Structure 1
Amino acid sequence: MSTSEILFWFLSVLALFSAIMVLVSKNPIHSVLWLIVVFFAISGHYLLLNAQFLAIVNIIVYAGAIMVLFLFVIMLMNLNKETEPSRNIWMKFSGVISGGLLLWIFVSATRSAGEIVGKTAMIKEGSIGLIENLGKVLFTQYALPFEISSVLFLSAMVGAVVIGKKQ
Structure 2
Amino acid sequence: MELLFFYLVAMVAVLSGFSVVMCKNPVNSGISLVMTFFCLAIFYVMLYAPFMAAVQVLVYAGAIMVLILFVIMLLNLGPEMMKKFRHGVIGGAIVSAIVMLQVMMFVNRGTVAGVQGDITKQRVLEEGHMQIMGLKLFTEFMLPFQITGILLLIAIVGALVLAKKDV
Per the normalisation by structure 1, the TM-score is: 0.79
- Matched with 2:156 is 157
* 1:82 alignment partner in structure 2: 80
Structure 1: tracts of 5 or more residues without a match: none
SS at match of 2:59: helix
Q: Distance in 2 between matches of 1:105 and 1:146?
A: 33
Whole-Å separation in 2 of the counterparts to 1:140 and 1:24: 44
SS in 1 for 2:112: helix
Report the counterpart of residue 53 of structure 2 in structure 1: 55
Corresponding residue for residue 9 of structure 2 = 11
Q: Percent identity?
A: 36
Higher mean displacement: 118-127 or 52-61: 118-127
Aligned counterpart, 2:29:
31
Greater relative contact order (Cα < 8 A, sep 6+): 1
Please identify runs of 4+ aligned residues in structure 1 that moved more than 4 A: 94-113
RMSD across aligned C-alpha pairs, in angstroms? 3.1
Distance 1:102 1:160 in 2: 34
Note closer, same or farther for the CA distance 1:63–1:107 as it changes in structure 2 (3 Å cut): same
| Per-residue Cα deviation, 1:38-91 (whole angstroms, up to 9, x for no partner) | 00000000001111111111101111111111111111111112245846x9x8
Q: How many residues align?
A: 161
Structure 1 113/52 Cα, relative in aligned 2: closer, same or farther at 3 Å? farther
* TM-score (norm: length of structure 2): 0.79
* Deviating more after overlay: 96-105 vs 19-28: 96-105
